[in-house]
Chain A
Amino acid sequence: MFSRRMFLGAAAMLALAPVAWAEGSCGTSIEFVDTPKEAAALAKKEQKLVFVLHVSGHFEDPRFT
């Protein structure tokens, strides 16, 4: 009984907890680094291209992503 109450309590806490965003993804499915300069340095090292997003709005507004 005690363990069941603890389980229900933990479930309630999880439900009330704020949404945890994936690290670096800023609410998208893309991982962002801090600056384009860092992105360029990392891309050179990892033999990748660079993706730079220029925004003047909110990511969370679906019209802008």
Chain B
Amino acid sequence: MNALANPEVGKFVNEYFVSSFQKVATFKIVNGQKQGGNVASYFCAPDGRVLHCIAGPVDANTFLKEAKWVVETTKKAMKEAGDDGAKFKAFFRNAHAEKLQRETGLVVEPVTYDWSPPSEDDALQFRDPTGRPLAPKLPPPPIDGPDVKLQEKELALRQAGAAKAANTPGMPGYCTDKAGRRWNIGNQGKADQIMAAHCMSKIESIYGTVFETILGEKISTKPVEVTTPFPWRPESNLRKIKPEDLR
């Protein structure tokens, strides 16, 4: 399960991405057992807007498949949209909806306009004790139901695949469509469902939804802290960037 230690994953990620990490939530050790604690991987544009995410731990093959999907889709989107940001966003959200359909047989309507979060000055805005608004919990787009063009056997096959997909223990591995029917979706399907409406949003407006809705973790009410999750290792281990490297 240690996907990030896999040399093939490392080679691909180092080739196409510049990587960093943040600590966003806490875990406790009770009687020698860890309670809570999880991981979410975000693939972003250089301006910090999220293109795709993987919620929870996955194996190396799954990680590589998702990372390659991001790179390929980005190339296609850049070719298709050119310099048009709105077109790029719409292309990516459509791509997530198509991916969900291909992997689970479920149809979701991509949202190609942006949901506007409550203003920070809003009197009704809930704030943490430090005065900072909490990370918003974005509404996922509703699942329409199964793709009616699929034969029953094909739908059953895709649903069987979704049932086998990684799912957070204690969280439902299913979703409910508009008719109230339950369908297998798994963590990755849920991530694609959210991304079909909210990809290309800033990471700070998405991470709360991923951690709480998919992983069932309570995020810290503190702002995202850049602290090391490797307290036993000196920070000097990190790759240092000199100012001239950025020029």
Q: CA separation between A59 and B27, bound complex, in Å?
A: 13
Q: CA separation between A23 and B14, bound complex, in Å?
A: 13
Q: A43-B18, A50-B18, A56-B24 are in contact. Are A32 and B238 (CB under 8 A)?
A: yes
- Say yes or no: is A3 at the interface (Cβ < 8 Å to chain B): no
Contacts of B143 in A (CB 8 A): none
Interface residues of A in 20-65 (CB under 8 A from B): 21, 23-36, 38-46, 48-59, 61-65
B1-34 interface code vs A (CB 8 A; 1 in, 0 out): 1111111011101101111111111110000001
Q: A30-B13, A65-B3, A65-B5 are in contact. Are A57 and B34 (CB under 8 A)?
A: yes
- Check if B6 sits within 8 Å of A29, measured CB to CB: yes
- Check if A36 sits within 8 Å of B39, measured CB to CB: no
- Check if A65 sits within 8 Å of B2, measured CB to CB: yes
* Contact pick for B203, options A35, A52, A57, CB 8 Å: A52
Among B2, B24, B210, which residue has the most Cβ atoms of chain A within 10 A? B2
Interface size class of B (residues with CB under 8 A): 35 or more
Q: Which residue of B lies closest to A21 (CB)?
A: B237
* Contact pick for A57, options B11, B37, B237, CB 8 Å: B37
CB distance from B150 to the nearest CB of A (A): 32
Q: A28-B10, A57-B37, A64-B39 are in contact. Are A52 and B5 (CB under 8 A)?
A: no
23 residue pairs A–B, Cβ–Cβ below 8 Å:
A29-B6, A30-B4, A30-B14, A34-B240, A36-B20, A38-B20, A40-B48, A43-B17, A43-B46, A44-B47, A49-B16, A49-B17, A49-B71, A49-B74, A50-B17, A50-B19, A51-B20, A54-B211, A55-B23, A56-B36, A56-B39, A57-B37, A59-B4
Which B residues are closer than 8 A to A by beta carbons?
A: 1-7, 9-11, 13-14, 16-27, 34, 36-48, 51, 57, 67, 70-71, 74, 203, 207, 210-211, 217, 224, 226, 229-230, 233, 235, 237-241, 245-246
Which A residues are closer than 8 A to B by beta carbons?
A: 21, 23-36, 38-46, 48-59, 61-65
